[in-house]
């Protein structure tokens, strides 16, 4: 299982890189059934102009379309970042078999960081979760994206403060 987890997380990382190339927060999700990818998604909130544009939501919709139903109980989801409340809700509602994620999300994570929804007995569905798969790679792509974003913001702010000498001529 470990080899498969690494393989599918590498696919999720490739999808996350696609998000980054589009200026989106680089989170990728892959849904697998029977060793086959049945859905994938990356963060696309800016592109869709929607708060629902999370990688997991996009991947769940794609997988539901592929299998022809909303129950994904034979599917495993691989996500580069620990899912948030909204995405964990969707994963639970889809009755996923298993969740595998890369790095923790201390500000919004709903698997280990802030909440533990996968194991909450008050809910009608629980699922096993494995975290830390390629965690360093998953954290690095996010860190590099936000570092680049902060750098671009500094350059833009500096340009706005100090107009070009040619502008006043």
Angle between helices 2-21 and 135-161 (to 10 degrees): 10
Whether the CB-CB separation of 101 and 84 falls below 8 Å is answered with no
97: which DSSP letter? Answer: S
Single out the catalytic residue among 56, 74, 82, 112: 56
Q: Is residue 47 annotated as part of the catalytic site, yes or no?
A: no
| Long-range contacts at 153-162 (CB < 8 A, ≥ 24 apart) | none
Whether the CB-CB separation of 96 and 127 falls below 8 Å is answered with yes
Cα-based angle 118, 146, 18 (whole degrees, multiple of 5): 75
Cα-based angle 94, 138, 129 (whole degrees, multiple of 5): 35
Structural element, H or E, at residue 77:
strand 76-81
Give me the active site residues, please. Answer: 56
């Amino acid at each position: 299982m470990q080899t498969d987890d690494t393989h599918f997380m590498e696919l999720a990382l490739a999808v996350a890189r696609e998000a980054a190339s589009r200026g989106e927060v680089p989170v990728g999700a892959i849904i697998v059934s029977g060793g086959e990818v049945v859905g994938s998604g990356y963060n696309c909130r800016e592109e869709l102009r929607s708060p629902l544009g999370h990688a997991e939501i996009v991947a769940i919709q794609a997988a539901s379309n592929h299998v022809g139903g909303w129950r994904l109980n034979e599917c495993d989801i691989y996500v580069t970042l620990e899912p948030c409340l909204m995405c964990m809700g969707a994963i639970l509602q889809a009755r996923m078999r298993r969740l595998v994620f890369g790095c923790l999300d201390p500000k919004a994570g709903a698997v280990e960081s802030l909440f533990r929804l996968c194991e909450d007995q008050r809910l009608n569905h629980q699922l096993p979760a494995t975290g830390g798969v390629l965690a360093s790679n998953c954290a690095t792509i996010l860190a590099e994206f936000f570092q680049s974003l902060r750098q671009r913001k500094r350059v833009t702010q500096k340009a706005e403060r100090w107009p070009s000498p040619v502008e006043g001529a």
